[in-house]
Amino acid sequence: MMSASTHLPAGLGAAPQPPASVPQVPADAAVSEPAPTGSPVPQNPAPRATTVLMRKEHREKIALFRYQVIRAAADASLTTRQRGPLVRSLAQVDHPWPFGGTRRYSRETLDRWIGAWQSRGFDGLKPDERASTPVTDSTVLALAESLKREKPHRTAAQVKRIITEAMGTAPSETTLLRHFRSKDISTGVRPLATGRFESDHPNEIWVGDALHGPKINGRKTYLFAFLDDHSRMVTAARWAFAEDAIRLSAVLRPALQTYGIPEVAYLDNGGAMIDKSLSRTCAKLGIRLVHSAPYRPQGRGKIERFFSTVTSQFLGEITVTDTPMLPGTDPAAGSQISSLKELNTLFTGWVNMVYHHQQHSTTGQTPLARWEAAWEHREPVRKSLDEIREAFLWSDVRTVTKTGTVSLHSNTYEVDPLLAGTRVELVYDPFDLDGKVTVNNHHGHPAGQAKVLKIGRHVHAKVTNAARDNDTSTNISTGINYLDLVATRHRESLTAAPISFADIHACTEQKAEAIR
């Protein structure tokens, strides 16, 4: 849970942007967020939807937004006196609305959301279904954007006057300002001053990002990494051949099982980071998901510094080749790799045996020592394996055939025959397609389990591609070079007594002398 002493750096309060993959839907029925108290004109309601499942998705998106707003103040460990100032401060700022623009809410509304979260959890934050109020014509907003970009010095009031003159009516200045901000158009607001920030305890904030790496066998590599803001411990890191949600899940899931549940995940706006599956995972596990504002990377300095260290100390020591490294290879060439598995083997050894044991210039401690010392009188928040597994489930909508079957990723499942001809939601684990598949009917209510009839895929296609990342790997032969020695020491530390740096140094000197 978020403690009262937690303060986020500037730019860290931005709510997650809606995934770019969310389809646009027809505009004749919707679930919308009620206009904030005191607003004369409703602001940017949710896009309209035509089916119950679409409206269900919209309600969940609004619930995610409400969750991001009140998460810090809803901490059960806070006293009434501690919660009051937090709620008052939340009521005084604009919050990015997932469908565009910003919103501001009264303290009474925020208190009501907090009570709903504490009593009914995530479902308590979902709004009731209701008719949506009209939205501002998109052509009018497009014209306003063009007028502003044409002459950036134009104020919202001036743009409104021009549109009124040309079309007879125009949106309010508030609506225009909100639209300009959603499009990252400067409105003349002075930039916020920022300073150095550090969380008070481990697992308060995990900062995540992806680093573009070298090509192996013609394929580009990407490093997904999560760094604990307080200790600088690398809680999750692995190289992959694609920057997508499935690889991110494969990295993050074991990290949550090992190190516990962070209070905040602070990410950039890459495609994998804004995927709706990650938003669902964080909401289910009680993680506050925050994305850095575009072009405002404040608070991301630690992960950027880590990537700089990776580039200079690790990537600078490897050489990519088409063939595995052979004994007696020139050590000046560095550690030669020819597969993703070799890259991950060397990298894991370097992180655990070198990076985690290097004294950090800011903290004056090694990441491992700082992490361990901070847990002397605290315990990480943990979730059961079943809870974590459920949080990483995916869902898809399918139409049931006349024979009571549905198709999902080359597999055929049997559902209740009474659902024939209707649209149903299938909730499943992309890593285990022949496992449990839950069915929700067209009203969004549970409708039993799907029974496997024919299995064509045991895992999602993206999972298969991710698994193939390591299929062609070959065990590397240890040469006399830095990263191979680190990897060897790491392997031995997992199976036997730790080997000291002095022993490794002596061994290296002996081999080097033999070569001379």
State which of 466, 485, 506 marks the end of a domain.
Answer: 466
Same domain? For 209 and 156 the reply is: no
pLDDT of residue 139: 86
Whole-angstrom distance, CA of residue 105 vs CA of residue 111: 10
289 occurs within a structural domain: yes
Same domain? For 144 and 211 the reply is: no
- Check whether 4 has a pLDDT greater than 70: no
Total count of domains within the chain? 3
Max CA separation in the chain (angstroms): 89
Whole-angstrom distance, CA of residue 219 vs CA of residue 34: 48
Q: CB within 8 A of 357, min separation 6: which ones?
A: 366, 368
pLDDT of residue 323: 56
pLDDT of residue 212: 92
20 occurs within a structural domain: no
Confidence of residue 294 (pLDDT cuts 50, 70, 90): low
- Check whether 370 has a pLDDT greater than 80: yes
Same domain? For 211 and 175 the reply is: no
Residue with the larger pLDDT of the pair 347 and 473: 347
Same domain? For 353 and 255 the reply is: yes
Same domain? For 403 and 449 the reply is: yes
354 occurs within a structural domain: yes
Same domain? For 330 and 219 the reply is: yes
Give helix then strand counts, H and E, for the chain: 15, 16
pLDDT average, residue stretch 388-393: 89
What distances in angstroms separate CA 290 from CA 12, 106, 201, 267, 461, one per listed residue? 6, 22, 18, 6, 29
Assigned token pair, 100: 């565009």
Among 18-27, 72-81, 191-200, 241-250, the range scoring the smallest mean pLDDT is 18-27
Share the mean pLDDT of the chain.
77
Query: Mutual orientation of helices 107-120 and 80-90 as an angle, nearest 10°?
Result: 120
Same domain? For 172 and 274 the reply is: no
Residue with the larger pLDDT of the pair 508 and 119: 119
Among 77-86, 206-215, 325-334, the range scoring the smallest mean pLDDT is 325-334
Q: Domain holding 254: CATH number?
A: 3.30.420.10
Instruction: Give the residue from 182, 381, 178, 386 showing the smallest Cα distance to 288.
Output: 381
- Check whether 480 has a pLDDT greater than 80: no
pLDDT average, residue stretch 84-100: 88
187 occurs within a structural domain: no
pTM (whole model) above 0.75:
no
Is-contact 455 411, C-beta < 8 A? yes
Same domain? For 282 and 324 the reply is: yes
159 occurs within a structural domain: yes
33 occurs within a structural domain: no
- Check whether 129 has a pLDDT greater than 80: no
Residue type, position 355, single letter: Y
Phi-psi region of 404 (alpha: psi -120 to 50; beta: other; left: phi over 0): left
pLDDT of residue 233: 93
Same domain? For 154 and 220 the reply is: no
Same domain? For 332 and 275 the reply is: yes
Whole-angstrom distance, CA of residue 253 vs CA of residue 261: 10
Same domain? For 228 and 343 the reply is: yes
Q: Domain holding 400: CATH number?
A: 2.30.30
Residue with the larger pLDDT of the pair 455 and 133: 455
Displacement of CA 85 from its chain's centroid (Å): 29
Q: Coil, strand or helix: which one is 96? A: strand
Domain extent, residue 249, equals 205-363
Q: How far apart are the first and last CA of the chain?
A: 59
What distances in angstroms separate CA 352 from CA 187, 271, 306, 442, 501, one per listed residue? 47, 28, 14, 49, 13
503 occurs within a structural domain: no
Is-contact 83 91, C-beta < 8 A? no
485 occurs within a structural domain: no
Same domain? For 210 and 178 the reply is: no
Pairing label, strands 411-414, 405-408:
antiparallel
Q: Position of tokens 């490897």? A: 318
pLDDT of residue 516: 44
